[in-house]
Chains A and B, each alone.
Chain A
Amino acid sequence: MKVLYIDLNRCIYCRACEVACEREHGGVSRIFVTLLDWTQPVPVSCRHCEKHPCVEACPVDAIEVTDEGAVLIHTNECISCGLCAIACPFGVIELDRVGKIADKCDLCAHRLAEGKQPACVLTCPTRCLQYGELDDVMAQARDKPGLTFVSAVGDTGTVVTMPERPARDTAEATTGSD
């Protein structure tokens, strides 16, 4: 089972993943990096949730859950109601500005079909984003500082390692402590 792994110890907020995704998907990125508290960037893309609000919300069943557990939008059937975008708790579904069609991260299905990894994964300068077998990912994650959360079901999912970092007061001159 292959998962997308995000190690939040490693993100440097460079947005390479966004620019790569945009290039691979006709000018619209499906991954979004947000900066929290001025110092913690968080890349967010579709989590292929086990309980999938977007699927429940869609009035025309345009969102499919595959046998592998991936959540896929069939854009041909989209009626632009926007309910899936509202329902998604991670905010990763967007309607394109002109055609109002909903779309989201599809783990670069077109690249996976050719045996290539997702673009965001290959481009990430720091290996913050990885794609691999769940067992390999978890073996790696165990040695990393921080807590690791797994949201994976069937054959797809996302694993995130939350960083363990000292609370930092950014307002005053920081001089560290040992």
Chain B
Amino acid sequence: MDDRDITWVPSLCPFCGVGCGFLAGVKRGRLVALEYLTEHPVSEGALCPKGNAVLDTVHHADRLLHPLKRVGEGFERISWDQALQEIAERLLQIRETHGPDGLAFLASAKCTNEENYLMQKWARLLGTNSVDHCARLCHASTVAGLSKTLGAGAMTNPVTDTAAADCIFVIGSNFAECHPVAARWVGDALEQGAFLMVADPRITPVAWHADLHLRLRPGSDVALINGMMKIIVEERLHNQEFITSRTSGFDQLRELLATVELAEVAAIAGVPVEAIEQAARRYATAEASVIMWAMGITQHTTGTDNVMSLANLALITGNLGRPGTGLMPLRGQNNVQGACDVGALSNVLPGYVPVTDFERRRRIAAKWGVSELPGSPGLTVVEMMNAAACGDLHGLYVMGENPMVSDPNVRHVRQGLDNLDLLVVQDIFMTETAELADYVLPAALWAERPGSYTSTERRVQWQPALVAPPGEALPDWQILCEMARRTGYADRFPFASPAEVLAEINTVLPTYAGITPQRVQVLGGLVWPCPDPDHPGTPILHQEEFGTADGLGHITPTPYRPPAEAPDQQYPLTLTTGRVVLHYNSGSMTRRTGALLNREPRLFVEISAPDAAAREIEDGDLVRVSTRRGHSDCRARVVPTVPVGVVFMPFHFAGTNILTSDALDPTAKIPEYKVAACQIEKSPQ
């Protein structure tokens, strides 16, 4: 690579929530090279395969270049002026006819804090709280569960802190594939003798390194954790001092644990009692223990309970508020944490203020120059699809999300989207969802507009603009400001730059008050809470007090409940879903990248040898996977790494979510992606 004329700009990887940095090489208006940023505090220059392929999507031939309007089965190119005007008029018309709740908005965990803030502000000024995003599908149960128990729904310790742990409990996380750079710090801990215990039905790359691997049944997490706590309390391994001084609710937990029978736990989880005992003792007696989790815990009808029982486990053993401990939900998207923080969720305003909180809602309204804002929670992601399908939702504005691949029960999603009066999709590629839209708006991507992004450890970092967007594509923040102006809110959206939006966020969101445009633009940014412009940020939460009203950690007993769908005669196997290291979420970026697609080209199902043999299926055969919601065809991989009775499919390819269940956790409204009853047979062909 000829280094002359290349300007190197510190940048942020646009994929996952670890928030790795790298150097983007810009030459004559194009992104041409990538270098490793060894000074980055979290990644030290490392990048996973996805980060290494980040250049490929920027100048990709598939980029959307012009605004499009639906004509018959296809699209015609129209001007921005026509697009914005027509969309504005149709949105206002729907609001006129059906009320503001006839509209809904999908914000984007890939867009900046400023853009997500703008979208939720616009939606609320229009009169609806139906603004939500894909956090609903991944960590909504984390936010709900940790808010309830600890008063703050976010990861408590930095990613690098795992290096200081003596016991690392990984449950429902495959970070070696989904957050590879996190493995760097866990690896350091293991080298120093830390004990790694993994709860996962599959033998994942994380489990390869485990000292103890609990291959529990999908959906049995609360039973397992209650079982662990029963052992801890019975053997007097709990931290009484911490419980007394910093928590409430221990007595209620004791009452629940008295009803827990270990033999029953072992039967439910499919894990021997001895292994549960070993896990409990190791976690409770280590000097510093940390719990890491992700979708295996959150994507269940009991997701909120799953998270709360992990919080209980940490609270009764005092594993919070100091280095090497903590509760670590590994957030998926590069800015899902930020999108949540700035209120792009239908039940909360910026700063997790419940929309029903009369007092604080009024204060935010005042900051926005209005006397009131809508006071009842809006529709969540899956509820939007349900409402669209039954005719209660009329207009949906989608920014940087792909429900046709990401949402569960995709056939039902299709019915919903087809039934809308108006579907607008603002994106960088013609995604499976954009294909169905009435209007498609070409947007800029991560390298093409500046803004702040918040990683899983609450680290807010700034991405500068590197190159111009292609064709007529525009930055999302500009499109949103224009839309807001054309729907009558010009004076509420006077922003000339994302930095000005961040300056407003500083005044609305107390935890971001000190994360000003001037301060955030340093390597590594700032970790919230950062309540004033002199505050250095807060890597470790809950050191003195929890975020609850009384400052105590609220132990919340959760009885075991089984998943919504159990295997039966017709569908005797359990389908669980997840990720692979070479692809990212709905695949719209990674399936357009040769280096990644060539190594993982297509949908597959992992099936155990006994289950395959019973169906005369051999490795590589074309098979049909069916659930109550539909079927998908793919290639079988016969592996020893899934248990008998369980099969696994990656959701980066469109076929998987045709099969998954949209049964929801009642509190968080997150769908149960991780458990569906299925059958597999050799393909009829």
- A→B interface (CB under 8 Å): 9-10, 12-16, 18-20, 22-24, 27, 38-41, 110, 114, 116, 119, 122-127, 143-145, 170-171, 173-176, 178
B214 touching A19 by the CB < 8 A rule? Answer: no
Q: Which residues of B contact A127 (CB under 8 A)?
A: 46, 184, 187
- Give chain A residues whose Cβ lies under 8 Å from the Cβ of B4: none
Interface string of B272-294 (1 = CB under 8 A from A): 10110010000000000000000
**In the complex, which residues of chain B have a beta carbon less than 8 angstroms from the beta carbon of A122?**
36, 38, 45-46
Question: Are A16 and B49 neighbours in the complex by a CB distance under 8 Å?
Answer: yes
When the two chains form their complex, are residues A170 and B180 in contact, meaning their CB atoms are under 8 A apart? Answer: no
Interface residues, chain B, with chain A CB atoms under 8 Å away: 1, 3, 34-36, 38, 43, 45-49, 51-53, 55, 176-177, 180-181, 183-184, 187, 190-191, 197, 203, 205, 207-215, 270-272, 274-275, 278, 581-582, 594-596, 599, 609, 639-641, 643
Q: How far is the CA of A41 from the CA of B208 in the complex (A)?
A: 10
Report Cα–Cα, A98/B641, bound state, in Å. Answer: 37
Known: A14-B581, A170-B203, A170-B640. 17 other contacts (CB 8 A): A9-B191, A13-B205, A14-B176, A14-B177, A14-B205, A16-B48, A19-B595, A23-B55, A27-B594, A38-B203, A39-B208, A123-B45, A125-B47, A126-B46, A126-B180, A127-B184, A175-B271
Which DSSP category, helix, strand, loop or mixed, fits chain A's interface? loop
CA distance A56 to B271 in the complex (A): 56
In order of increasing CB-CB distance, the 9 nearest A-B pairs are A176-B212, A175-B275, A122-B36, A12-B176, A125-B180, A19-B52, A19-B49, A170-B640, A125-B46
Give chain B residues whose Cβ lies under 8 Å from the Cβ of A110: 1
A173 contacts which chain B residues (CB < 8 A)?
215, 270-271, 643
Q: A12-B180, A144-B191 are in contact. Are A123 and B213 (CB under 8 A)?
A: no
Contact status B599-A15, CB under 8 Å: yes
Q: Say which residue of B35, B187, B640 sits within 8 Å of A126 (CB atoms).
A: B187
Within the complex, what minimum Cβ distance (angstroms) separates B274 from chain A? 7
* CB atoms of A178 and B278 under 8 A apart: yes
The 16 listed contacts between A and B (C-beta, < 8 Å) are A12-B180, A12-B183, A14-B48, A14-B205, A19-B49, A19-B53, A22-B595, A39-B208, A110-B1, A116-B35, A123-B52, A170-B203, A171-B609, A171-B640, A175-B275, A176-B212
Residue of B nearest to A12 (CB): B176
Q: A14-B581, A125-B47, A127-B184 are in contact. Are A23 and B52 (CB under 8 A)?
A: yes
Give the residues in chain A near B55, CB-CB below 8 Å. 23
A14 partner residues in chain B, CB cutoff 8 A: 48-49, 176-177, 180, 205, 581
Chain B hits for A13, CB < 8 A: 176, 205, 581
List the B side residues contacting A39 at CB < 8 Å. 203, 208, 641
B669 to chain A minimum Cβ distance, whole angstroms, is: 33
A144 to B38, CA, bound (A): 23
Taking a contact as CB atoms under 8 Å apart, the answer to whether A123 and B46 are in contact is yes
Give the chain B neighbours of A124 by CB distance below 8 A. 46
Complex: chain A residue closest to B593, CB-CB: A19
Contact B214 A175 (CB under 8 A): yes
- Which residues does chain A contribute within 8 Å of B609, judged by CB atoms? 171
- Distance in angstroms between the alpha carbons of A145 and B193 in the assembled complex: 10
Complex-state Cα separation, A98 to B581, whole angstroms: 29
Contact B52 A16 (CB under 8 A): yes
What separation, in Å, do the CA atoms of A170 and B214 have in the docked complex? Answer: 12
In angstroms, how far is the closest chain A Cβ from the Cβ of B33? Answer: 9
For the complex formed, measure the closest distance between the CB of B584 and the CB atoms of chain A, giving whole angstroms: 13
How far does the alpha carbon of A20 sit from the alpha carbon of B47 in the complex, in Å? 9
Q: With A and B bound together, what is the CA distance between A22 and B641 in angstroms?
A: 29
Point out which of B47, B270, B274 has the most chain A C-beta atoms below 10 A from its C-beta. B47
Query: Inside 8 A of A41's CB, which chain B residues have their CB?
Result: 205
Report the minimal beta-carbon distance from A143 to chain B, rounded to whole angstroms. 8
User: Is A23 a contact of B47 with CB atoms below 8 Å?
Assistant: no
- Given A19-B49, A124-B46, A178-B278: A38 in contact with B180 (beta carbons within 8 A): no
Q: Which residue of A12, A24, A41, A122 has the most chain B CB atoms within 10 A of its CB atom?
A: A12
Indicate which residue in B47, B599, B641 contacts A170 across the interface (CB closer than 8 Å): B641
Residues of B within 8 A of A171 (CB): 609, 640
In the assembly, what is the distance between CA of A138 and CA of B461, in Å?
Answer: 37
List, in ascending order, chain A residues with CB within 8 A of B190's CB. Answer: 9
Complex Cα–Cα for A171 and B640 (A):
5
Min Cβ gap B13→A in Å is: 12
Cβ A126 vs Cβ B183 within 8 A: yes
A54 CA / B213 CA spacing, docked (Å): 43
Instruction: List, in ascending order, chain B residues with CB within 8 A of A15's CB.
Output: 49, 581-582, 599
**Chain A contacts for B180, CB-based, 8 A:** 12, 14, 16, 125-126
Known: A12-B176, A14-B176, A19-B52. A125 touches B181 (CB 8 A): yes
| A27→B595 CA distance, assembly (Å) | 8
Query: Which residues from A are CB-within-8-Å of B596?
Result: 19
Given contacts A13-B581, A23-B34, A127-B187, are A175 and B212 in contact (CB under 8 A)?
Answer: yes
